[in-house]
């Protein structure tokens, strides 16, 4: 199994593309970028140098993943969502890479279409960022974020459904799949172990 790369895409020397990954029309993968297995990069996606992207990630059309951004496994990036890496950019006074702030998107998080992620923040595991939201703070695990600036509007399950608070106040439950969660310093954590379909034997191919 190998990566599938459309003829119009540009993959620079030194980029690493995992088996089963699909890279579509007019994408640009820059040197040192590392993309895992079974990812999908839609039309006109740019991945900057040295960016790390995990396994099973889906990046929809017209997204630029700039240096300083890290996407863990199973992250979803909706069409035209925006990442930044400089809080105070000036064309006349460029800071260079030393001035970039790190943005870390944890496993399973979803970022809606046209959402903006201001740099220097962490989006927790399985969080859900609503379409058009502007994230200016760290986001707890499983949090549902909406608005400008984004504010928490609830909690979401690993399966994506909004969670319901249990009547006894002991935690939250998903009425769709039955998973239960409890509060933790990071946000919510599962009350039970549920296997996540992580890919095994991941290897990257030098393109």
pLDDT means per 10 residues, the chain with 207 residues, are 94 98 98 98 98 98 98 98 96 92 98 98 98 98 98 98 91 96 96 47 35
pLDDT given at position 198? 37
The pLDDT assigned to 170 comes to 82
Q: How far apart are CA 52 and CA 72, in angstroms?
A: 8
Query: What's the Cα-to-Cα distance from 66 to each of 19, 46, 139, rounded to whole Å?
Result: 23, 8, 20
| Residue whose C-alpha is closest to residue 17's, from 163, 193, 207 | 207
Q: Write the DSSP string, 38-105.
A: T-EE-TT-EE-TT-EE-TT-EE-SS-EE-TTEEE-TT-EE-TT-EE---SS--SSS---GGGPPPEEE
- Contact status, residue 86 vs residue 68, Cβ threshold 8 Å: no
């Amino acid at each position: 199994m190998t990566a599938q790369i459309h003829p119009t895409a540009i993959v620079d020397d030194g980029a690493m593309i995992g088996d089963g990954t699909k890279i579509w029309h007019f994408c640009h993968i820059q040197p040192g970028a590392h993309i895992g297995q079974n990812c999908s990069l839609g039309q006109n996606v740019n991945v900057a140098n040295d960016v790390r992207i995990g396994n099973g990630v889906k990046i929809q059309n017209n997204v630029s993943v700039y240096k300083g951004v890290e996407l863990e496994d199973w992250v979803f990036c909706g069409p035209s969502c925006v990442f930044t890496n400089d809080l105070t950019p000036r064309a006349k006074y460029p800071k260079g890479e030393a001035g970039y702030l790190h943005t870390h998107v944890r496993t399973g998080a979803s970022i809606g279409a046209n959402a903006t992620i201001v740099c220097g923040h962490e989006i927790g595991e399985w969080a859900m960022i609503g379409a058009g939201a502007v994230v200016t703070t760290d986001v707890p695990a499983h949090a549902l974020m909406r608005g400008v600036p984004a504010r928490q509007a609830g909690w979401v399950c690993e399966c994506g459904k909004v969670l319901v608070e249990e009547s006894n106040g002991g935690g939250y439950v998903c009425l769709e799949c039955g998973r239960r969660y409890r509060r933790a310093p990071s946000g919510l954590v599962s009350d039970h172990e549920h296997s996540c379909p992580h890919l095994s034997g991941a290897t990257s191919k030098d393109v």
